[in-house]
Amino acid sequence: MADKLSEIMAWKRREIAALVRPVPPAELAALDNAMPRAPSFAAALRRADGRLAVIAEIKRRSPSAGSIAPGIAAPAQAVKYRAAGASALSVLTDEKFFGGTLDDLRAVTALFRAEPPAIPCLRKDFMVHPIQVRMAREAGASAILIIVRALTDDEIQALHEAAQAAGLDALFEIHHEAELARAVRHGAAIIGVNNRDLAVFTTDLGLSERLIPQFPTDVIAISESGITTAGDAARVRAAGAHGVLVGEALMRAHDPAALLASLARAGR
């Protein structure tokens, strides 16, 4: 398989090109002040009950798995995840490759405002410009994704500063030691190890076991991708993970609530 991440990022840059404009921090701060306060993503990942935090993902398809749940309604899935005890949600908003839209995020956060309690939502997309951060805040997100390997240092800095101005947390996604060092240099407070190589879509939980012990002690550690059983969750918990991000396994599960509960209990 060709380098799929490069293909996706090239497409994303073309997709948002017509939207790109300067987005000063003051504009983002004013937006944050004017909008309802979103629940804290970071706080939700440090569970007081000692359980592993589960970020449950709403994902209809992916380049690696193909079609997963094409007809799923994002709000209905969000309600199921919340009832099952998810600490946070990850909502795919990329349409071309993952079958999501920003309307999915808007619908989920609107539902949570109308029918509390709200749990924090990560805008899961391929972020390249602060205008996407503004759109995330407008849609009610609590956090954005920063894929370190896909961005220049200037782009990472611009996205992180925009997120901070907008009152959003940032999940820095890494895949090897050099990316961990870059994330730390940029002041990342939440770092996720993607066990799936986004260039070729192979998965190895050993990446979390190798990299998470190298994280600064004050960083929230997340293991992403390839978590399908309580045993998988226990492995990454033993390596120091505070939480896991799980999409395909929950979307395909006959009983997602039972699977989510077993993941949260792992390693206690």
Residue appearing with tokens 């120091």:
240
Annotated catalytic residue 155: no
User: In whole angstroms, how far apart are CA 206 and each of 16, 115, 146, 181, 193?
Assistant: 35, 40, 22, 18, 10
Annotated catalytic residue 59: yes
Annotated catalytic residue 57: yes
Per annotation, catalytic residue among 12, 59, 87, 195: 59
Take residue 79 and report the two structure tokens written for it.
């309600």
Annotated catalytic residue 138: no
Take residue 258 and report the two structure tokens written for it.
């039972």
Phi and psi dihedrals of 229, rounded to 5? -135, 165
**Strands, DSSP E only, in the chain?**
53-58, 61-62, 66-67, 88-92, 121-124, 143-147, 169-174, 190-194, 220-224, 243-246
Annotated catalytic residue 87: no
Per annotation, catalytic residue among 62, 124, 142, 209: 124
Per annotation, catalytic residue among 12, 173, 179, 248: 173
Annotated catalytic residue 177: no
Take residue 62 and report the two structure tokens written for it.
């992916």
Annotated catalytic residue 195: no
Q: Give alpha helix (H) positions in 186-229.
A: 206-211
Spatial distance between the Cα atoms of 133 and 127, rounded to a whole number of angstroms: 8
Half-sphere exposure of 37 (CA within 13 A, CB side): 3
Spatial distance between the Cα atoms of 228 and 205, rounded to a whole number of angstroms: 11
Per annotation, catalytic residue among 179, 209, 224, 248: 224
Element spanning 33, H or E: helix 25-34
Q: Residue 265: count other Cβ atoms within 10 Å of its Cβ.
A: 15
Per annotation, catalytic residue among 57, 179, 209, 248: 57
Per annotation, catalytic residue among 62, 87, 194, 223: 194
The alpha carbon of 145 is separated from its chain's Cα centroid by a whole number of angstroms, namely 5
Per annotation, catalytic residue among 179, 195, 225, 248: 225
- For the annotated catalytic residues, the residue numbers are 57, 59, 124, 173, 194, 224-225
